[in-house]
Every structure is written in structure tokens, then in C-alpha cells.
Structure 1
Amino acid sequence: MNTTNHSPGTGRPAEVAVGETRTVVVDGTRQVYRVAGAGPVCLVHSGGPGVHPEYLRMPGLHGGLTLVYLDPVGSGDSDPLPDGDYSMSRYAHFAEAVLDDVGAATGYFLGHSHGGFVALQFGLDHPERLDGLVLYDTAPVTGEELMTTATERMAAFVRRWPDRPEAAEAGRMWDSAHVARNLEITDDESHRRYLDGILPAYFADHRRTVEREGDFSPAVTHDPNRLPVRWDVRDRLGTIDVPALVVVGTHDFVCPPRFAYEMHAGMPDARLCELRDSGHFGHIEEADAFTAAVLDFVRETRQRGDRA
């Protein structure tokens, strides 16, 4: 494993071998990332926060992009942040360090869920480093408004599957955590049990997906020092003047389509892809459509760049 310090990008991403796992040290904190595929560089930032990133492997994209999969700080093999300051700009700072470490002056940034928050922040903080954004099942705001909408959507999910006990259990667990607030999440194991309990709501049809793909249970790191974050960039979307692809599943309960439409309408160079038979994990539920949308977006933006 290679360990380096934060240094400027050189524009030579081929220096990092495909399949390599690397570590860059930023302000004394280890940031791990893994490289796969071939083509233009694309940072991949998974959701959470704290969820390990293995669930966001997208082999269908490896033929058209060099995917640089981050283990976000506080998850996977990366270090936690000693001060608990997991702000979006802090995550974006670590992502920029990875872009530097792979030697790329610019790249695409694919952010899923919480990773999409980071992608938007990266677009605000470092637009000169971007070839484009893929904003995947995410939102331009966190906090109470997002949670209220998710709670309403969770109730709709439970009503949609009245004969499935796992749907009722997902609704019960969500309400315990976010409405009654009597569910204690204090360590990795209690956090994992909570995620496993609400997981069926993240899919358009959880049973069908499990039958086709197998069980899906992401690991999670619970950092008790993580400070609360409130973040809202809706009034700044118009300043993110880089090409953007907004991808959303029709049945996504936690980052529902209304927020995707808002990003699409608010950004000057955005296009929208709604996956009608997906929830929060379109790269699993409708892998072919997801892959085609992303690769078409990359081809389009690179052709525009060539013409420029």
C-alpha cells in the first residue's frame, strides 16, 4: 500500500495501476481509495455517512471510466476524523487530495446519497477540478426537511406492501429512530441492525432484488464523535456551472425524486435520468439503464469538450 502526502495534480492518472489500493495522508488522517477500470478518471463517493463503500461497486462502468472508489473518512479502511468534523467541505477536501494523488488535474465525480452531498459541495469548492458530476439518489439539503419527506415516503412504502412483515418492521424501526427517537444507536453493531431493519425500503421490490442478486447488508462504522451537520445549497445550485447528470429511482424513499427535480431545475447544465423500477440502488436494481445513462453522459461531455 502506497502512502503519500497531499500534493498538486499532475494530469497523469496512468501512474496509478488499475486494481491498486492506495492511501493518501491528509492532515494526519489516512484516506484509502481503490482503482478499477479504464478511461477518464471518476471519483466515486459512497453514501452513509459511515456505511462501508463496497456496496457501490459498478463493474459495468469499468470499460469506460477509471473509477477511483473512495473509502470515505470514518468508514471502510480510512481513518475516522479525530475532531468529529465531517462537514461536506471536509469530505470534499479529502476527495481533492485523492484526485491529486492519482495525478489527475480534473475528473468526474459520482456521488451516491450522502456522497452526492459531497459531490455538490465539491462542485462549489473546486469547480475547476471537474469534468462533470453524477448526482445519484441524493439531495441538495440535509436535516429536518429531508427527514420529514423520508418519513412520509417510508409510510407510503409500508402501505405499498401491506402483506410483507419486513415492510412493517422497516417502518417501525424508522419511526423509532426518527419520530419517537427512542432507538439507541451507539456502536457498529446497533447501527448495522438498524440499517438491516430499514433496508427493504431502499428498493423498489426488495424481495425480487434479493432473489436475483442475493442478500445485501452493508457494513457500517459508527463514530460516536461525529458532529451533527446541517447543510443546504439549494440557493447555490445555479453557481455550479459544470455538466451534471442527476439520477434518481422513482421509489427512492430517503432521497426522493422531488429533490432530483429541484437539482435538475436549479443547475445550469444538468440532465435527469429517472429509473422507474428502482429505489435507492439503481446501479443494482436497473444496472444496465444506470450504466448506459452514466456512460452516455461521459461521452456527451467529452465530445463537447473536444469540439470546444
Structure 2
Amino acid sequence: MSFASDPLAPGTHSVSIDGTVQRYHVAGTGPVCLVHSGGPGIGWEYLRMPALERHLTLVYVEPIGTGESGRLPRPQDYRIDTYARFLHGIVDHLGVPEVFLLGHSHGGFVAQRYALDHPGTLSGLVLYDTSPCTGEEFWNEAVGNLDRLPERHPGRPEAAAIPAAFRQTLAATDDESCTRGLRAILPAYFADYWAHESEFAPFREAVRVWVDPMRADEPPFDVRDRLGDIATPTLVISGAHDFICGPRWGRMLHQGTSHSRFVLLHDSGHMGHIEEPTAFASAIITFTSEAGRTA
């Protein structure tokens, strides 16, 4: 049940899904687009996109295990299919005939899973800085890119410390340590954090992480052999300097799906909605407008 009469009224909402409270936040006007943040375990607020809210009604999902959403009994319960199930509960609750779905990073895994599990439900799919697979090759490439970060920023002691901080963050066991760790390594997620430090520093200090969703012992994500089953119009966005979900993985998504377009943000890392907000928003506005007319 919902704790608000209008599920799309601006503001914060809660709905009970299988006995667990799922929070979401509504902002903006226009066609409805659900937004699933990454992590797992990172607070939804980092993905706030004011430029898009002028054109779309954004429904920001506050993933279970984070913020004021409910907690699951065991860390291993936080799986991609679980997030997709809660996402479907929100879609059912909203009761609108056409919705778009935007997934960022790990949220992109959830979005792919949702599109495969619920064909015909979505008007369009936006896969933002994500990949159709993880596994050994994926992580080896990400760690290799991170280890080369000090070469890209010589003379920056903070850059030199990030590769080790990344490994320490993965081993953190409490929310506070995870949050401190992510803030320490966050510059790696930008094309050039230090060139815009005064602009990006408040964002960095506001990021929060919850440890339980990060602890799921889940097999590698891999839907490469099923991408052709996604018939939903799809927009794939990649940042040229993204160390973890770079253009290689975005192009793999684009080439594997039958109705997709690919946009490369040349001056972005993993945070194109902050680094290049105008180009990022323009790509999505054009896509949702055209997909809406087709639908």
C-alpha cells in the first residue's frame, strides 16, 4: 500500500512490497521515467538530475538497504533480481501505462534484468555507464585503469593513493567506513576531478554508502547472450574516461541490442550527468521524445 494518495505527486513516497518498505522520490514534469542508482548501496541523491526534471517526471528509486527504505534479512538477499522485483513493485504501484527506465552503473544491471523479465512494459530504456557483464575480465580492466590513474594525474598525491584506497573500501565492514572510502576514491569516477574540484567537492562530501547491499555474494552478471531479446528502444550512454564501465562495455550493449543508439560523452568519466549535464540531458530528452512518439 502507499502512504500517499497520489503516487506521482512531487515529494517522497513509500510503498510496501512483500512486507518491505520501498521509498521513492518524485520530481519534475512530463513523461514518467524511473531512475535506479548504482552501487550497490550508494544513496540515490548523487543521481539527482535537475536538467531532466524540466522535461520528465523522474521517479528516483531509493534502493532497498539504503536510506529510509527497508532492510532485507540477510546481505546475500541483495541481488540484481531482487532489485528488479522491487522496481516492478513500484511500476505496478504507479499504475501508468507508459514508463521509461534509466539505470546507472549497477542500476544499469538492474534495468537490463527488468527489461528482460518484463518485456513490453517499458516505453524506453536508458543504460547509463553500465555493462552487459561483470566477471574477471571486467574487474581486471577496471583495476588496471585505476592503477594507471596516477599516470594521468602526475604530481597529485591524492591520485597516487586512490588504487590502494579502492581495495580497502571493498573490504570495509560498516556504513561509515564505506562512505569514507567512496569519498576518498570518488575523484577516479570523473574525467578530471581536480580541474573542477570547487564544483565537484560538495557532491563528493554528500555521497553516502550502506554496507549490507555491497556484501552480496552473487555470481557475475552476464546477459550478453540475451541482449537481442531486449526489444525496448534503448539509449546507451558512456563516458569516454569511465574507468569502470567505459565505452568498450557501452558499445557491447549497443551492438547486442536490436533497437539502440549509442552516445559517447567525450569529457566525462562515470558521472556524465554532473560533468556534461547539457549533453547528457539533451541525449535523453531527444531519445524519450522520439521513443514516446513511436510508442
Given that 1:133 and 1:242 are in contact with CA atoms closer than 8 Å, whether structure 2 keeps it comes out as yes
Given that 2:132 and 2:253 are in contact with CA atoms closer than 8 Å, whether structure 1 keeps it comes out as yes
Change (3 A) 1:186 1:244: same
Partner of 1:3: 3
In 1, the alpha carbon distance for the partners of 2:181 and 2:169 equals 9
Per-residue CA deviation, residues 192-228 of structure 1 (Å, 9 max, x unaligned), is 1211121110000112332234432311111189431
Q: TM-score, normalised on structure 2? A: 0.93
Partner of 2:72: 81
SS in 1 for 2:41: coil
Partner of 1:57: 48
Given that 1:209 and 1:285 are in contact with CA atoms closer than 8 Å, whether structure 2 keeps it comes out as no
Partner of 1:48: 39
Partner of 1:296: 286
**Which of 217, 221, 225 does residue 235 from structure 1 map onto?**
225
Partner of 1:123: 115
In the TM superposition, residue 102 of structure 1 has moved relative to its aligned partner by 1.6
SS in 1 for 2:212: coil
Q: Name the aligned partner's letter for residue 192 of structure 1.
A: T
In the TM superposition, residue 270 of structure 1 has moved relative to its aligned partner by 0.7
Residue 176 (structure 2) pairs with residue 189 (structure 1): yes
In 2, the alpha carbon distance for the partners of 1:17 and 1:241 equals 27
Partner of 2:212: 223
Residue 43 (structure 2) pairs with residue 39 (structure 1): no
Q: What percentage of aligned pairs have identical amino acids?
A: 47
SS in 2 for 1:54: helix
Partner of 1:27: 18
In the TM superposition, residue 106 of structure 1 has moved relative to its aligned partner by 3.0
Residue 261 (structure 2) pairs with residue 271 (structure 1): yes
Per-residue CA deviation, residues 91-133 of structure 1 (Å, 9 max, x unaligned), is 1111111111122233100001110000000110112210111
Q: Which runs of 5+ in 1 are unaligned?
A: 5-13, 179-183
In 2, the alpha carbon distance for the partners of 1:81 and 1:129 equals 26
In the TM superposition, residue 25 of structure 1 has moved relative to its aligned partner by 0.8
Q: Which runs of 5+ in 2 are unaligned?
A: none
In the TM superposition, residue 176 of structure 1 has moved relative to its aligned partner by 4.7
How many pairs are equivalent? 291
Partner of 1:208: 195
SS in 2 for 1:247: strand
**Which of 252, 269, 274 does residue 242 from structure 2 map onto?**
252
Q: Name the aligned partner's letter for residue 62 of structure 1.
A: E
Per-residue CA deviation, residues 159-204 of structure 1 (Å, 9 max, x unaligned), is 11111111111122224567xxxxx311011111211121110000
Residue 3 (structure 2) pairs with residue 16 (structure 1): no
Given that 2:10 and 2:25 are in contact with CA atoms closer than 8 Å, whether structure 1 keeps it comes out as yes
In 2, the alpha carbon distance for the partners of 1:58 and 1:170 equals 27
In the TM superposition, residue 48 of structure 1 has moved relative to its aligned partner by 0.7
In 2, the alpha carbon distance for the partners of 1:266 and 1:157 equals 30
Given that 1:202 and 1:280 are in contact with CA atoms closer than 8 Å, whether structure 2 keeps it comes out as yes
Root mean square deviation of aligned Cα: 1.9
Q: Name the aligned partner's letter for residue 274 of structure 1.
A: L
In the TM superposition, residue 287 of structure 1 has moved relative to its aligned partner by 0.3
